[in-house]
Amino acid sequence: MSILCVKLTKYMYADCVQVYICISLVMRVNIIKWQNVIIHCGENNAMIKAFGEFKKKLDLVDWNNPSDASKSFNSTDLINCSEQGSNRLIFNIGGNKYRMICGYHFGTYKVTLFIKFVGTHKEYDKIDVCDINMFALKL
């Protein structure tokens, strides 16, 4: 949680009154294309349940930097994809049965996750974490 404080000063004759107003800024997570996850899960009820529980927890987090993701989900890995110019978060979901890879952006007021991959642990073992973008539009 970030805290923003503003000092207000009011001069009244010879007296000076200073007031500080502070508000907490909660860095909520915005997921781009969560619907792709739902569609990808299809009729797999175990997968739907696992990702649904993950999403409920994700809706309550407050992150200020990428390492905060590991505090919320201790099995999360932060991968440096320096050649692509972007890093990835890898979430283990459903007791390590499933994986979700996300690109991310930490803005001033919110965190945005860009889903790059959703699949089983076995499917994950066959991909390149930094190159995968299974939901990109194919032209």
CB 116 within 8 A of CB 133: yes
User: pLDDT for 24-41, tens place per residue?
Assistant: 556 788 899 899 999 999
Assign domain 27-124 to a CATH class. alpha beta
Q: Which range has the worst mean pLDDT, 7-11, 30-34, 48-52, 114-118?
A: 7-11
Q: How confident is the model at residue 2 (pLDDT cuts 50, 70, 90)?
A: low
Q: Which residue has the higher pLDDT, 129 or 82?
A: 129
Bridge partners for 2 per DSSP = 25
pLDDT interval class at 23 (50, 70, 90): low
Task: Read off the pTM.
Answer: 0.79
Contact status, residue 107 vs residue 32, Cβ threshold 8 Å: no
d(CA 99, CA 52): 13
Tokens of 32: 């781009």
The dihedral sign for the CA sequence 112, 74, 36, 127 = positive
CB 80 within 8 A of CB 64: no
